[in-house]
């Protein structure tokens, strides 16, 4: 077992909880939604949200097996290797030299295919809960490594831009996944408005339609925006954040899958949002605002647009969750 890969800083729960001895055999966690990409940072930037959250209950077993239950009727695969919470736990128990397993009950509140990190919440919630029951023997980097197996089940490829913010909280940069190099970025106190038009966009499909090559001029613009966005977060420069929320590579292709996208983006900015774009692979759209009143105004604009299109939707006005998956029954 590797406790400290690549000399990475593990600033999260492992360091502070390392000496904790777990006596209870079950734990409940809230596993939050996340916004991957943050517009220009395809696969490398992600942000954790206060709401919505999946509720997960995880029980320690003294057999090397993983059992998955769906508590609220979602048809989640019960074969652990096909389940986004199960596959990471299989990887985890395979690194233990004893007969340990886990039983997981998932109360799915983050709709699969919504673009706000549903699969990542299941994967991250499962590994954080399991690690807690094991006395936090794994680092956050290990947990991201396990949880990425859940993303592979969901979308066919490992990516950590939902998993890392879900586990670490706040905003994270995934500088590399081979080897894992996760850099927590300071999160400004911004408000986040999300609209989830009720269509399903599968991440696997939304990845397949992307062009495999980019023009150098687009790449230059994109990495200017990514650097600008990270600098904006670090300096709490909201104007810089706003003008860096531009994606010239992925959004022009994916936005055609989302009815009303261009209008939502334009009118939310007119209503005062700093900017925003597709959340993860869509169909949800997120907008950042400096004030709660603006975020609520942005929500009203989103509702008006989807009412006039005649498409059902959910909206959330929330903030950036700075701690990630929460243990709630300690
Ligand atoms: N970076 C991934 C994608 C996130 O955009 O395909 C999926 O939530």
C-alpha 66 – ligand 1 centre gap (Å): 27
CA 248, distance to chain mean position in Å, is 22
- State which ligand 1 atom lies nearest to the alpha carbon of 120: 8
pLDDT at residue 24 in the model: 52
Residue 309 CB contacts under 8 Å (≥ 6 apart), including other chains: 259, 260
Q: Which residues are designated catalytic?
A: 151, 203
What is the predicted pLDDT for the residue at 77?
83
Joined together, the tokens standing for residue 103 give 């039983």
pLDDT of residue 4: 31
CATH architecture of the domain covering 191-319:
2-Layer Sandwich (3.30)
Buried b (16+ CB within 10 A) or exposed e, 249-261: bbbeebbebbebb
- Which residues, given as ranges, of the chain have pLDDT below 70? 1-24, 330
Domain locations in the chain? 3-185+321-329, 191-319
**Cα 206 → chain centroid:** 16
What are the DSSP calls for 93-146, one per residue?
Answer: HHT-SS--EEEEEEE--S-TTSSS-HHHHHHHHHHHHHHHHTTS-S-HHHHHHH
Atom of ligand 1 nearest to the CA of 115: 8
Q: For atom 4 of ligand 1, which residue has the closest CA?
A: 280
Residue nearest to atom 7 of ligand 1 (CA): 280
Pocket of ligand 1 (CB under 6 A): 36-37, 42-43, 159, 161-162, 203, 206-207, 280-281
Per CATH, the number for 3-185+321-329 is 3.30.230.10
């Amino acid at each position: 077992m590797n406790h400290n890969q690549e000399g990475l800083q593990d600033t999260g729960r492992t360091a502070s909880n390392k000496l904790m001895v777990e006596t209870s055999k079950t734990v409940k966690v809230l596993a939050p939604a996340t916004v991957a990409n943050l517009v220009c940072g395809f696969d490398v930037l992600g942000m954790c949200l206060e709401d919505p959250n999946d509720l997960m209950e995880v029980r320690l077993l003294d057999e090397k097996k993983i059992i998955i239950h769906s508590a609220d009727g979602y048809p989640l695969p019960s074969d652990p290797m096909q389940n986004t919470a199960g596959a990471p736990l299989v990887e985890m128990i395979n690194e233990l030299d004893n007969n340990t397993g886990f039983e997981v009950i998932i109360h799915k509140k983050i709709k699969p295919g919504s673009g706000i990190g549903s699969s990542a919440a299941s994967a991250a919630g499962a590994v954080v809960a399991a690690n807690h029951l094991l006395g936090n023997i794994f680092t956050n980097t290990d947990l991201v490594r396990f949880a990425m197996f859940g993303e592979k089940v969901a979308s066919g490829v490992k990516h950590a831009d939902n998993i890392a913010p879900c586990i670490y909280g706040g905003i994270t940069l995934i500088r590399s996944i081979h080897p894992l190099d996760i850099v927590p970025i300071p999160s400004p106190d911004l408000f986040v408005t999300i609209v989830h038009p009720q269509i399903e966009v599968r991440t696997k499909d939304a990845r397949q339609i992307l062009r495999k090559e980019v023009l150098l001029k687009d790449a230059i613009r994109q990495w200017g925006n990514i650097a600008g966005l990270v600098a904006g977060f670090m300096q709490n420069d909201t104007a810089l954040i706003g003008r860096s929320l531009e994606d010239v590579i992925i959004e022009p292709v994916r936005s055609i899958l989302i009815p009303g996208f261009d209008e939502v983006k334009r009118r939310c900015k007119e209503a005062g949002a700093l900017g925003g774009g597709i959340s993860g692979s869509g169909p949800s759209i997120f907008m950042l605002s400096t004030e709660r009143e603006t975020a609520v105004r942005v929500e009203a604009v989103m509702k008006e647009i989807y009412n006039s299109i005649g498409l059902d939707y959910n909206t959330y006005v929330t903030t950036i969750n700075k701690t990630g998956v929460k243990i709630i029954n300690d």
